[in-house]
Amino acid sequence: MPESENIMAAVNMAATSLYKILSTENRFVLEQEYENIVNNFNFENINDPQLIRFFMELSNAIQEKKIRGEELQKFQEVDVKRNARLATSVLDKLPEHWGSTVQWLTNFAFRCLSSYLRHQEQIEDAYKILDERIRHIQQDDLRDCTRLRSRLIEVSWRLIKKYKLPSENLLNEQKIKNFYDAVKIKDSEARLESLKKIANDFRGYYPFWYFCVKAAQEISRDDLVLEYIEIFEKVWRPVLVKDPYKLAISKYQALYLIKNGGNRNKIFVLLDDIEKNNPSEKSESSLNNLFIGMTYFSLGERKKGIEFIKMNIELQTPNEKANAQYKIGDSYALQRNYVDAVKFYEQAANQGHIGACLKLAFIYQLGADKIPKDTNKAALYFRRLL
């Protein structure tokens, strides 16, 4: 795989990462981007020290932005509390007894007015201090934005010259904005049409083609799904250690081949790709293990299927775990392996799974291969159904 193509993919990843950092205040997005750069970027495939240094600058900028965001939030919280204290201090300073009702009302109005004016002066002073702090934070943000934009242009220009990269395939902020605006469109058909209009700008950016595949699949255009998958495969480069786009495309391909009776060996290769790119995040990893396991199982590779379903169980919540154990029990029962079926049914039943209790009750009531009749156990599981 040519080094220049890896560099191109990495530069475009850097450009989109910078765009996300500059255009969001969302802490979750910033943390996700930081995680992607620090722990998921495949630096082994990028043999360029300056580009790697730029990614490190991006990760530092994310941390700085998160810290400044926290500071700004604290300033605003302090300001709200200060204003509340100043407002209540107007009433706290009023005496309890002021003579007649008329005199009391007159003095109350006068004292409130003078306290209010002092309160307004204090608020104005507080806002001056707060505005100054916010201005400093915003200036720091602006300086970082300007510096990072300049650094990206500098790095991109140098890499274009060094590797003779086609400049039209490099992304800029406007192209990326057009892309994210298109992706946000809820109607699948309209989204796909918007993506088509800007497709020429994204020939060297493989995540773009994943979104085209997704939109085409949502409107059941299998012809376009295959066309966009082919483009994705041509431009994909291993710049991420665990690539969510590669994983998703492999899933689409596997499902298409299963649905249309495709080559089993090709499906197994795709399942390997899904496993390699399976993230460490618990809930998503669990679902992918289940997908791999059920696919192997449907293709007759029961032993391997059960292995992945077991991996799925280890990551499940109690209810999900019981359901998965019940399904494994069913898979063993279909093979007439009642010893292992009972083992998994019992694990599910112990977590309150009704279906598992019912099947155990009948197995023990009637007996099965290598499982002797046991009316006491049958009665126990029948009682759990009540």
**pLDDT confidence of residue 50:** 79
Q: Among all chains, which residue has been given the structure tokens 């992945």?
A: 308
The distance between the two most distant Cα atoms of the chain, rounded to a whole number of Å, is 99
Cα–Cα distances in angstroms (integers) from residue 254 to residues 17, 271, 289, in the given order: 29, 7, 14
pTM: 0.65
Q: Which helix (H) or strand (E) holds 99?
A: none
Rounded to whole angstroms, the Cα distance separating 200 from 268 reads 33
Contacts of 48 (CB under 8 A, 6+ apart): 7, 10, 159
Going by the DSSP 8-state scheme, the letter that residue 169 receives in this structure is G
pLDDT at 324 (0 to 100):
81
| DSSP three-state, residue 35 | helix
- Mark 290-307 as b/e (b = at least 16 C-beta within 10 Å): bbbbbbbbeeebbebbbe
CATH 1.25.40.10 spans which residues of the chain? 318-386
| 13, 198, 200, 215, 240 from 208: Cα distances, Å | 11, 10, 11, 11, 15
**Residue 206's pLDDT is what?**
92
d(CA 15, CA 95): 64
pLDDT tens track of the chain, all 386 residues? 467 888 888 888 888 888 887 777 666 666 677 677 767 778 777 777 878 888 788 778 777 776 666 665 665 565 555 555 555 554 455 455 545 555 555 555 555 555 545 555 555 555 555 556 555 656 666 677 777 788 888 888 888 888 888 888 888 889 999 999 999 999 999 999 999 999 999 988 999 999 999 999 999 999 999 999 999 999 999 888 899 999 999 999 999 998 888 899 999 999 999 999 998 766 667 778 888 988 888 888 888 888 887 776 665 566 777 888 888 888 888 788 889 889 999 999 998 888 888 889 888 888 888 889 998 998 888 888 76
> In 3D, which of 128, 110, 119 has the Cα closest to residue 87?
119
pLDDT of residue 277: 93
Regarding the domain delimited by 318-386, which CATH topology (the fold level of the hierarchy) does it fall under? 1.25.40
Which residues lie across from 368 on neighbouring strands? 371
Phi-psi bin for 41: left (phi > 0), alpha (psi -120 to 50), beta? Answer: beta
What pLDDT, on the 0 to 100 scale, is given for residue 1?
Answer: 47
The dihedral over CA atoms of 16, 17, 21, 25, expressed in degrees to the nearest 10, equals 80
> How many C-beta atoms surround the C-beta of residue 316 within 10 A?
19
What Cα–Cα distance (Å) separates residue 3 from each residue in 47, 164, 217?
8, 11, 32
At residue 372's C-alpha, the angle toward residues 369 and 374, to 5°, is 140
Q: What's the burial of 195, exposed, middle or buried (CB within 10 Å: 0-12/13-18/19+)?
A: buried
